[in-house]
Structures are given as C-alpha cells and as structure tokens.
Structure 1
C-alpha cells in the first residue's frame, strides 16, 4: 500500500477574465513596475497580478461572461462595449490618462496573436509629466502650449514628433500647458542628406500639437501665475485624439533634435 507522506490538498480555482492592461513607458516601451492607480466605473473589478498586469476580472454588463468558463457567451459581439478607465501615477512621474478597453475580447485561441485577443494584454503608454525622468542621450523637447489670442495655457494637448514620415515620440501637456516629449534613439552623429557636410549631429523633425476642443483644459495666464492647479485636471484619451487627428485643430513647427540636448518650444494653437 502506497503512503503519501507530507501530502497537502491543493485547491484549484478557475475563472474567466475579461482582459488585461500592460502599462508601459511611452518613450522606451518598457513595462512599468511601479504601482499605478486605476479608477473604473461601478461594477468593474480590476486587480494587479504578480506579472504587473492590470487584470479586468469583472464588469457588470459582462457578468455572465465571468460565470461561463468553458466557452464565452456569444450574445455580445466582440469589442462592442467600451469600458473607460482612468490610470494615474501617485508619484507624479506620469500624467493621468483615459483608457478605452473594447470588450468582450476575442476568446478564440486561434486568434491569440491578434491585438483584440483576450490572451494579449492591451499596452497602455504612460506619458511623462513635465518633471519626468529622462535618459542621458535623449533629445528632450519641452513644450509650452497656449491658445492664440487669449494666451490661455492648454492642458490635455497631444504632442507628436514626426521625422522622416514616422512618429518618433508622443507626449501630453499638463494643466499649465507644459509638456515633456523625450525622443530616444537620436544618433550622436548620422549621415547628412544635404550637400556639404558628410555627417551631422542633429536631425530635423516636425513638432505637432493636436487639440480636442471638447476635452482641452484652458488656464488663463493670471491663474497660471498663482500656481494653483484647477479642480479638474486634464484627462484625455491620447488614442482617441490620435484617431480623430485629421479633423482637430493643430499647430506645428520644425525643430532640430540632437542627442542629449534639451530644447524648449512655445507653440500657439488657434481654437474655434
């Protein structure tokens, strides 16, 4: 007769999750290990797991999904419901932002490599605050965004750095209209595309400001000088602004970027 020595009973718990978020540094793409605050509507339960993912365990409109483990119900089409979350950094290194999660996610294992799969976490870029940490060889663009005419500082503006037709960096402005847009990967020297110099130490890029009038926060200069933050801080979904960019007010300016060199730009935007 076989005896089991030092055996212990293991309880197995199985449940269905609705999805997960992976918060990453917008400049490097590295996952953030620090604790972030997530605010969700009533009826949603989100917890951080040991891998640092923010796991969506429950949401009231999909309560019946959590109870169906073997196969997900098919009464709600994939991605037909939008769960809006607020992610913020208690330490203030990153700006708060909105995140839209389209649910339910695709639970078909055959589609596990697709962006909308429940088996793939949704990457959420977190954008640095104006006092955020930067790398030694990054080109750091500090931007002051204001409204032409009134001079009001504009918070919640999406900043884009575009070079050679590709987006090199993104950033957001805070309530003071200040933004830090670090650009990593700028070579110390590179081949020149213009006649004359063989190599150059900087590249030309276009700095773009995109404003959603429905969500932008305007702070008059008189209030700005008092240094008191407004009750409602800017809170935008950068992905939504990017998707609607073609129809939104914009302003742009050409800049020269060099590794390890800071640059400050004031950019005015004409708003309706």
Structure 2
C-alpha cells in the first residue's frame, strides 16, 4: 500500500508595514472592509502599492514602489542596498459610509530589529501603525453619549467650513471629529456620567445643588483656509462639492497649525442628549 505526500511550495515575503484603523471616538478597531489607494498611480494606472487584510483586521502593505527587492528578500543581509527612506501617502475610504475618507502619510521603511526594546517601539516593523477614522454625520452612536449634530460655520460670514477638525474637551475626556465636505459634523462625546458633583453656586437663592447632569465643554475648530467655504443656506440637492477630490489629513490639522484658522466656543454637554447644533466660531490665524 502506498501513499502520496503532497508538499506545497512555501514562499516567504517581507511585509513593508501593517495598519490598524481605529474609531476616533472609541479607539476600537474598525472591522468593516475599507478601501486603500495611493493618490498617484503609474502611467498604466497600475496601483503603486498592494495591501492584504489579515485575520486580525490589519491591512498589510506587501508591495510598494522602491521596495520591490525588500519585499522579496526575507534575510535583509542579502540585500545589495537598503531601500531609501521615503514618505508614502495613502487614502482610505469606507464604502459603508460610517467613516469619512481621509489621507495619511507613513515613513518607510520601518525598523526591522527584533530586540525587545526595538520591537516595543512605535517605529517597529512589528507594531501596526494606528490610523484614526472620523465618524461621518450618519455614523451610529451609543445611547449614553453626548451627541451634537453640528453645522460648522464662521460666526462673522456664516460660511460653512468643509473638512474642519473639531476637538471636544471636557474635564474627563478629549474627542476629535471632523466635518464632511458640507461642513456637517457628528460630535460624539462618550464617558460623560449621568450625574456628577456640581461646582459653583446654584441658579436660585437656595443652596447650590449637590449633583449636576451637565458638564462644561470646549469645542475647538481648526480649518484650512485653502479650502473653499460654502454658504450656510446652500441647497445641497443642487450644489457640487467646491473642493472636488480633496482628501483631508486630520493629523496635519491637529499638529501642524501654522497658517491655519482656529476658533473655539464653550457649552455644556449631557449624557444621552442628542441635539442639532449650529457651531459658529470666530476664527483667527495661527502664526
């Protein structure tokens, strides 16, 4: 009696980077399938990069321009030359419409060292890059969140601010979100207790209340003045996006503010309250 042993061919490949997409409100992993692409393509429209989604939900970059030999070589000592350091810009979108599209940049190559200190570092090849996705205006919310369905406008000209980033800050938490191309933003703030200890005097002549159902919050708006604003009363059944094919990079608006416009307002938020809100801010330039 004989048996046949089938040996499959094994092919080792080196990944370039892994990406973990997270919900900007909760920090949890985004599970639904996403679409990734590079803004630029080769003359024959062949993508410059190829991603594979693994069982953990991470998107693994297997091929990228300039990393052909790197991807095909498992032992880096066999490389004739290390790949040049470069910045790869990518665009991500959510076909389900729960999250806004965005752009982000990666510094490559990642550190391939396998000593414990290097592996634990954020720049390690073995650590997925965390990329936050911001909720669209029609994203799902939890019942206990404080929710503002905001129209973001300037207080002086009453123009809508497309793709403005909004930072909501309370004593307990800080949440980031972003307006869409119309200037509409879903501002969802989790973690606000149903009741909390009150501060300050009460509204009437009696003693101040012991507990309160609202908390103080600040909404900071960051806007790129290079974008075309929109009339607050625009008819969106007729209006075409005045910033076509634009993909925002929220990280740039959060960290590189030179030349941008910033404004803020104060208000009070309550757990479980879901309201429409006109977020009108007076903007000033960041030096």
TM-score, structure 2 length as denominator?
Answer: 0.83
Structure 2 alignment gaps of length 5 or more: 42-47, 202-207
**1:87 to 2:100 alignment:** no
Q: Of 258, 266, 269, which aligns to 2:279?
A: 266
**Considering only aligned residues, what root-mean-square deviation do their CA atoms show, in Å?**
2.5
CA distance in 1, matches of 2:147, 2:75: 50
Cα distance in 2 for partners of 1:227, 1:135 equals 33
- Aligned equivalent of 1:176: 182
| The one of 197, 200, 213 aligned to 1:201 | 213
Contact 1:175 1:229 survives alignment (8 Å): no
How big is the shift at 1:174?
1.0
The reply on whether 1:188 has 2:186 as its aligned counterpart is no
3-state SS of 1:112 partner: helix
The one of 1, 14, 33 aligned to 1:16: 14
Offset of 1:16 from its aligned partner? 0.6
How far apart, CA to CA, are the structure 2 residues paired with 1:14 and 1:251?
52
| Helix, strand or coil at the partner of 1:194 | coil
1:60 aligns with 2:73: no
SS at match of 2:251: helix
1:218 lines up with 2:229 in the alignment: yes
Structure 2 CA distance for aligned equivalents of residues 234 and 199 of structure 1? 46
Please tell me whether the aligned partners of residues 263 and 284 of structure 2 are also in contact (alpha carbons under 8 angstroms): no
Partners of 1:97 and 1:184 in 2: CA distance: 23
The Cα shift of 1:159 comes to 0.4
Q: 1:71: Cα distance to partner?
A: 2.1
Matches of 2:4 and 2:198, distance apart in 1? 71
> Which of these residues, 118, 132, 145, is aligned with residue 138 of structure 1?
145
Name whichever of 231-240 and 198-207 sits farther off: 231-240
What is the aligned partner in structure 2 of residue 30 from structure 1? 28
Is structure 2 residue 122 aligned with structure 1 residue 103?
no
In 2, the alpha carbon distance for the partners of 1:134 and 1:222 equals 27
Of residues 252, 263, 268 in structure 2, which corresponds to 1:256? 268
Partner residue of 1:124 out of 128, 131, 134: 131
Structure 1 CA distance for aligned equivalents of residues 197 and 256 of structure 2:
35
CA contact (8 A) 1:161 1:170 kept: yes
Change (3 A) 1:140 1:246: farther
- Who is 1:239 aligned against? 251
* Structure 1 CA distance for aligned equivalents of residues 257 and 62 of structure 2: 33
Does 2:175 match 1:163?
Answer: no
Distance 1:158 1:213 in 2: 13
1:163-216, Cα deviation, whole Å (9 max, x unpaired): 23x7521111112111001111111112234352222111111001001223x3
In structure 2, how many angstroms separate the alpha carbons of the residues matched to 1:239 and 1:167? 19
